Structure 1
Amino acid sequence: MYQSSGWLDFCHADQPGRVGAVYTGSPARPEAGVPVTAVRSMGNSFYRWDELLTSRGLPSPGPRGLMTGQHWGYHTQVLHHPALTLDEAAAALLPELRRQADAPVTRELAGIEDRDPVPCMAMYLDDRTVAAFRRAGVTAPPVLLQLEAWIPVPDGGWEGYLDSLGYKRSVRVRRDRRRFEEAGYRVEQLTLDECCEEAGHLLACTQRRYGHAADAKAFAASFEDQARAMRGRTEVFLARTAEGRPVGFCLYYVWGDSLYLRAAGFDYEALTGAAEYFNVVYYLPLQQASGRGVRRMHAGIEAYEAKALRGGRLNALWLLDLSERSVLAGRDEEVAAANAQTLRTLVGESRTVAGALADPALAELL
């Protein structure tokens, strides 16, 4: 979904002229492709590779260059024709990405002088994609950025999901659902273009709750851009009080066999303490997914314990320097130590989060 033309159109509206793609094959029959972004400055701090590396005590090539990936979504995939393996796609794309990094248009967009090397940084890759690029010849070790949660949607619909949680967790979920239903909220299922202003207001409420500056009108305008770019693919649960006051929303996309949670916001002053967040963001989408052939829900980064308690499995997301002469090459031990520290910070003291790590090799870093 985050590599779709609609999503890249949305990213392009935010960074005009800087978002595109590198592909192999012909325009009529592309064989492999991946989004790219020419970076001069980055508004989204989660994508500022320079700060992310230096905060881990690792060397950085500087803040400008060519980024493999788009600057919203925190999930970058290589797309390829079914006749190709992921390894073959990565091997074909790697030299093209390096050539694009050194191209005059990239230098101009990123503001890098002709004599200086242009970094080629891939952001938010999963384990399989990292391994494919490494087998293709990337020498730099991967740097752990975040964990992402995928919640399986088992057979049996909603009841099948509850059974998969085990007794104690399913009791908690049932209690949360009952409290929400008894609170008397009215839930509407809408498209984003029908509720941009309300979604912008609710997202601003959440941002302010956590101490961030927030402009409701700017959020609403961004949602309008997203609704226009995604061409009717947006879906929203909007919860109101009995009097009609909007109190919470969740924006999501159904794409293939996956449901992607994208954004959520709540007017916390209007809530009654009826597990509104968990109902609107997790339970309602999961109930929706079970009847539409969806096999898993992408719950994204952060809030790991809440997601793990609701069946989420946690996978690593990595930064990988694809540059031919990476500043990270040969620093495997330093990077491994930084990755272990990052994972310990992300997991904290939570046994629930540690137990939800999908990769046993990742758990060994703890």
Structure 2
Amino acid sequence: MSSQIQASVLHGVKDLRIEPRDLPAPSPDEVQIRIASTGLCGSDLHYYSHFRNGDILVREPLSLGHESAGTVTAVGASVSDFAPGDNVALEVGMPCEHCQRCKEGRYNICKEMKFRSSGKSFPHFQGTLQQRINHPAKWCYKLPADVSLDVGALLEPLGVALHAFRRSNMPPNATVLVFGAGAVGLLCAAVAKLKGAGKVVIADIDAGRLEFAVKNGFAHASFTVPMRRGKDVDENLAIARETASSIGEVDAIGEVDTVFECTGVPSCVQAGIFSTRPGGRLMLVGMGHPVQTLPLGAAALREVDIVGVFRYANTYPESIEIVQQANKSAEGPDFSKLVTHRFRGLEEAPKAFEMAGKTKDADGKLVIKVVIDSSEGAGTA
């Protein structure tokens, strides 16, 4: 038996509408979830602001949202691991599970991947900014009592950071540099720290974000990247070398073992190459400029590995353990502090997206992660 729900639906640039949808009962292998917390990320913001994300165009009305957690309201006939009332986090990418990449466990790069709130597959796989959704039980993860629904939603971007860490082969007691103190950069720093890095330095142009990172236990030290731009390629590379040299003076860290580049900004990627020690790794986490001028010779001559990172695979159980580890640590990080702004109800989504596009709110408070709270009693009935 189907029921009617309300959904936030994007029809064009900044054109969000609340619309009714029919939701059937969950199929035998699905659970039905009342979405409670959805974090907004950069891709959501691109779709909202441009009705596209890079060269991916939205071709039909689309519900956004993919960083989500909620409460189970019904279970399919074949589901035995969940019951109504369970709090769960959702992994929203559906791979084919049959191709060679899926068989290797690298389903995040499956060519047939369907990902909620993405316009890449068609028909689009609708996102989580809906009151309730049906989702395969296989891709849901029960949240322990000490993990809130907000932090449950953060498990999705935390998965990106954990996947980046795994691909980094970070050595024990490593010196780590993270470019970018947005949500993903902060999470990369946190994972590196919790996984045994000896020193984690985070770099950004925003001094307020850097202060937040160190104060709340996400990194050991910080570096404010100067706003400089050269007149040509040679001058830009010289500036990148100077930036790398200045970073090396922070606590006398010198060259670093592992760099997590979370901005996608060419100057940071360049500085990341120059900062990495011989034999170290530069992890490309940020989705930035598709074509860049990079000092590949400087990387090749020192055998600096440049490694791409795309989403995540098989991360949720370990991400939950990481959050619980942090909860028990006196030194942090406190993942809940990443949620800086909350908007209650789907009808508040336009305001939430406008806030997510800012670095500070009207009161001067940092904007890091904006959450839409669509739990029972939040706004739309």
* Bigger helix share: 1
TM-score, structure 2 normalization: 0.26
* Bigger strand share: 2
Higher relative contact order (CA 8 A, sep 6+): 1
